[in-house]
Amino acid sequence: MFPLLYCEFLKLKRSKMFLISVLGAMVAPIMVFAGLIKAKISEPDKIITYLDMLEQTNLYVLLLFGVIVYGVIAAFLFSREYTENTLKLVLTVPVSKGAFLITKLLMLFLWMMILTAVAWVSTLVLSIVGNAAEFNVNVIIQSLEEYFLGSFLLYFSMSPFVFLTLWHKNLVSPIIAAATVVLGNVALANQDLAVLFPWTSPYLIASGDIAKYHYSIETALVIIFAVSVIGFFASFIYFKKQDVK
């Protein structure tokens, strides 16, 4: 599995996609930073803390921008093998379809974690630049936990995007699906049903906000797990049965 994963990294050499995704991960921190600057100008007395900065960024990443960026990455990882016509060569090496799929999913996980780290570090740096208040080691550690737990859970909700990509073999459908999910996240904000929506609940669980809702953490976790398993098995079965043209 390691050579396959290593090759996935080699495939990204000179790829603009990695740079674009890093820039995408920095959008939320920059937006929050812009909010901080605006607040400092319009309300000079208002105190904006590191906690505010880190929490707001995580909210934007997990509920809005992250879903689209991670969805596009999932789609890119799989669709490029179709659009660049490389799948037939990889499979005749031979690499088994199962190993191929698992490697791509592992790569997606690592990529998401890298972008989470980029978002976290960017927020921290911009908080320092923006002279945010109340620096606290506990806040930093807690935010780190929240960022990575949220992304970890969101990763499990990405398998339907993988299936869509394998099915349609392009980027368009997964992007439309990701945009729809983001709209769903917005529509369900502050509603009980948000806990049952597997792309909203990762943030609620990571931030601890789920305690404010009627449904339990277990319910949310079961739904995330079910979506993940359904998406993965659908992808696996479809990919395994499908002829490579």
Partner 1 sequence: MQYVIKTNKLTKQFGEQIAVDCVNIHVPQGKIYGLLGRNGAGKTTTIRMLLNLVTPTRGKILLFEKEHRKKSKEIYHRIGSMIELPGFYENLTGSENLQIFARLRGQHKKDSVQNALKIVGLDQETKKTFGNYSLGMKQRLGIAAAIMHEPELLILDEPTNGLDPVGIQQVRKYLEMLCLEKGITILISSHILSEIEQLADIIGVMHQGRLIEEVAMQELHQRNRQYVEFEVSDENKACLLLEEKFGFKDYSVHENGSIRLYSNLEMRAKLNGCFVENGISVSKINIREEKLEDYFSKLIGGGELVPSTLL
Q: What angle do CA 98, 99, 101 make, to 5 degrees?
A: 65
14 touches partner 1 (CB under 8 A):
yes
96 touches partner 1 (CB under 8 A):
yes
| Cβ within 8 Å of residue 102, ≥6 positions away | 1
3 touches partner 1 (CB under 8 A):
yes
* Gap between the Cα atoms of 129 and 131, Å rounded: 5
Question: x/- string (CB under 8 A) for partner 1, residues 167-206?
Answer: ----------------------------------------
98 touches partner 1 (CB under 8 A):
no
DSSP 108-157: HHHHHHHHHHHHHHHHHHHHHHTT-B---HHHHHHHHHHHHHHHHHHHHT
Per residue in 79-113, is it b (16+ CB within 10 Å) or e — as a string?
A: bbbbeeeebeeeeeeebebeebbbbbbebbeebbe
1 touches partner 1 (CB under 8 A):
no
Beta bridge partners of residue 49, listed in sequence order: 133
**Closest distance to partner 1 from the beta carbon of 80 (Å):** 8
* Gap between the Cα atoms of 170 and 153, Å rounded: 25
216 touches partner 1 (CB under 8 A):
no
Question: Could you say which of 4, 20, 139, 221 contacts partner 1 (CB under 8 A)?
Answer: 4
Span near partner 1 by CB under 8 A; candidates 4-12, 129-137, 143-151, 229-237: 4-12
Question: x/- string (CB under 8 A) for partner 1, residues 22-61?
Answer: ----------------------------------------
Q: Which residues bind partner 1 (CB under 8 A)?
A: 3-4, 6-7, 10-16, 80, 84-96, 241, 243-245
